[in-house]
Structure 1
Amino acid sequence: MIVKHLNQILGTAAHATGEGWESRRILLADDGLGYSLHDTLVKEGSALELEYKNHIETNYCIAGEGEVEEVSTGRVWPLSEGSVYVLNAHERHILRALKGDLRLVCVFTPALSGREVHDASGSYAAEG
């Protein structure tokens, strides 16, 4: 059994931050589950353009209001508490936090190692 608390993640190497966002990486590849689990904050007013070429990501919104835009089509979906979106076809997208910090519970498969950094395209390498 694995039991962790967010307080154990904050301020460690598993607590990644960047301009307008932070990812508290709770479960990672070393946990041996085949997926990773993240508590992510996107700061109000931030817009992140991302494309996960090597991972599938599921995002469940638990706070804030925002939107996700599929770059190839320009289609935009509103996000609020209770919304879920899945990047099942590695879609290039723009995530915007519009009202309050957007808080997402994110699951990546394959699991992230926790050492990844976004490359110029907003993606992570296949292995961290």
Structure 2
Amino acid sequence: MIVRNMKDIVGTDNEVSTDTWTSRRVLLKQDGMGFSFHETIIFPGTETHIWYKNHVEAVFCIEGDGEIETVADGKKYALGPGVVYALNDNDEHYLRGGKEPLRVICVFNPPLTGKEVHDADGVYPLPEAEAA
């Protein structure tokens, strides 16, 4: 059994931050669950270009506000507590923070290793062993 407390992740290598978000990586590839599990805070007034070419992601919004816009069709969706969205088709999108920090819970498949940040295309690359 794996039991973790979020307070034990804050300030460790499993808390990764950029200018637009902080991600607390709770379960990772090395945990052997077949998915990874994260708590992410999207900062107010920010925009992040994301395109998970190598992963699918499900997101549950639990606090704050924001918006997601899909690049292919320009559709915009309001985000707030109780909203779930799934990037089931490797959807390229913009994730925008609103007036309040947007706190979300995310699940990735394949699981992340924990050090990923978006590249210039908004992509999380696959680990070396899986990319070959």
Question: Which bin holds the TM-score, normalised by the shorter protein?
Answer: over 0.9
Distance in 2 (alpha carbons) for counterparts of 1:98 and 1:7: 25
- Quote the RMSD (CA, aligned, Å): 0.9
Pairing 1:1-128 to 2, within 5 Å after superposition = 1-127=1-127
Q: How far off its partner does 1:110 sit?
A: 0.6
The gaps in structure 1 that reach 5 residues or longer are: none
Q: How far off its partner does 1:117 sit?
A: 2.3
Distance in 1 (alpha carbons) for counterparts of 2:69 and 2:20: 17
Q: How far off its partner does 1:99 sit?
A: 2.2
Structure 1 stretches of at least 4 aligned residues deviating more than 4 Å after TM superposition:
none
Name the aligned partner's letter for residue 50 of structure 1.
I
| Offset from partner CA, 1:61-103 (integer Å, 9 cap, x none) | 0001111000110000111100000100001100111120000
Distance in 1 (alpha carbons) for counterparts of 2:89 and 2:99: 28
Q: How far off its partner does 1:26 sit?
A: 0.5
Distance in 2 (alpha carbons) for counterparts of 1:42 and 1:115: 17
Counting aligned pairs with the same residue, the percent is 45
Distance in 1 (alpha carbons) for counterparts of 2:53 and 2:13: 24
Tell me how many residue pairs correspond in the alignment.
128
Q: How far off its partner does 1:12 sit?
A: 1.0
Calculate the TM-score normalised by the size of structure 2.
0.94
Secondary structure at the aligned position of 1:7 is classed as helix
Name the aligned partner's letter for residue 16 of structure 2.
A
